Amino acid sequence: MSLKSQTKPAKGPHIPLVAIVLVSIIPAIGEAAVLAWGIAQGYSGKALRDGVDFWAGGFLARHGEVALLFDPVAYRAFLHGAFGALPVHIWSYAPNYLLLVSGFAGLSPWHAILLFDALSLMTLALVLRLAGQSWWLIAAVLLSPAALENCLSGQNAALVTALIGGGLLLLPTRPRLGGVLVGLASIKPQLGLVLPLHLARRAPIAMLYAILSAILLAAAALWAFGAQPWVQFWHITRPAMTAVLTTGQPADFFNGLVSVFAAVRPLGEAAAFTAQGLVSLAAVILAALVKKTTPVLILAVLASPYLHSYDLLCAALAVALLVQDRLVTGFAPGEKPLFLAAWIIPGLVLWLPPVAVAVPVILALLLASALRRGPVAPCDS
């Protein structure tokens, strides 16, 4: 068989891939059933999970009570009054995020988070389509275990993936728009550590627009809420989130982490900081050197010490892009089980917490696969 015949693009859906996508949603179906049971038993607040913070942030911002978000005791008292007994919640976002969540403050908590989830997924689909991706790839990403975990957790990973992944994919054709999207991803800066140098080397005009959009977003938050929330974020929220890493408390926060830091933390705080620091530094340098989008998506999650299973949606997009490429160029030995593991593991972390330590290894192997150049050589048989 000639190499040319091997590299003809496949047409239409691949039945085995469709089956994998559908089977991989089973853990999410089970998780949704548990949440539905909780709602039926009167645990609506607990079932909202991080959606509690999404709604509370918008509600307090809309009613001029932003200061409560940065007072842990007062914030928990507010949540207790609104939802009853809850696990420990900490407001962990910068003030620029309040511009977004305050737009949903007029809705009930469940209506707010469901609408946000729907709009986030629509935005992700839109930017991927704008970047020229197929509807099959888009459907797979929207049904990925990471995307479903994001929705079930009441989180913002779908939106952040739209901003980062969409922004990077748009760089070749619409660098200004791509830069704007990346700049808006400053609502979750821990996933953007590798992006500045990558943009500066690959598309300086995109870097300029990213800086401008991030500055304008911060300025809008400053105008809307004043300077005090920024001061409180720096002096209260930032140390509190650092303490989650150093102390492992609250356990509800730390136990869900899937980062290099969390994997190495059992060996000691110093070892965890050293390992994560080295990986983050290497990720920043490597992202500055590569031109392809897929490795940068993987490097973005590897570089973050504060990483949850839903944040792996960026990696899920990378897997989808790699599979799309390998259907044309051929799979190297071991890539198929690697891609499958990277795809399904976000949905397994809740059910099998020990698998979280494997996430950094899988991401590292996925990165090596993404850096592979050229098609697989044909067999001589």
345 with 166: CB under 8 angstroms? no
Q: Is 311 a residue whose pLDDT tops 70?
A: yes
- Rounded Cα distance, 361 and 133, in Å: 28
Cα–Cα distance, 125 to 279 (Å, whole number):
31
d(CA 307, CA 160): 13
Please write the tens of the pLDDT for every residue from 159-204: 999 999 999 999 999 999 999 999 999 999 999 999 999 999 999 9
Residue 379: pLDDT above 50?
Answer: no
pLDDT at 13 (0 to 100): 59
- Taking only Cα atoms into account, the Rg of the chain, rounded to an integer number of angstroms, comes to 21
pLDDT of residue 7: 44
Could you give the CA distance from residue 93 to residue 226 in angstroms, rounded to a whole number?
16
CA–CA separation, 312 and 298 (whole Å):
9
pLDDT of 9 over the 90 cut: no
For 321-368, the pLDDT digits (tens) are: 999 999 999 999 999 999 999 999 999 999 999 999 999 999 999 999
Per residue in 203-257, pLDDT (tens digit) is 999 999 999 999 999 999 999 999 999 999 999 999 988 888 888 888 877 888 9
Cα torsion through 301, 254, 85, 54, rounded to 10: -20
Return the pLDDT at 88: 87
Closest to 279 measured CA to CA, from 164, 187, 194: 194
Q: Scanning the structure block, which residue is given the tokens 């809850």?
A: 86
Q: Both tokens of residue 173? A: 């054709």
pLDDT of residue 173: 95
For residues 341 and 362, is the Cβ–Cβ distance under 8 A? yes
pLDDT higher than threshold 50 for residue 5: no
The residue-averaged pLDDT of 291-314 equals: 97
pLDDT at 27: 94
| CB half-sphere exposure, 239, CA atoms < 13 A | 8
What is the number of other CB atoms lying within 10 angstroms of the CB of residue 336? 14
pLDDT over 70 (residue 374): no
Give the model's pLDDT for residue 12. Answer: 54
pLDDT tens sequence across 21-52: 999 999 999 999 999 999 999 898 899 999 99
* Cα end-to-end distance, the chain, whole Å: 8
Predicted pLDDT at 59: 96
Contact between 193 and 154 (Cβ < 8 Å): no
Predicted confidence band of residue 376 (pLDDT cuts 50, 70, 90): low
User: Dmax over Cα atoms in the chain, in whole Å?
Assistant: 72
Tell me which amino acid residue 236 is. Answer: I
What is the value of pTM for the model shown? Answer: 0.93
- C-alpha dihedral sign at 293, 297, 299, 303: positive
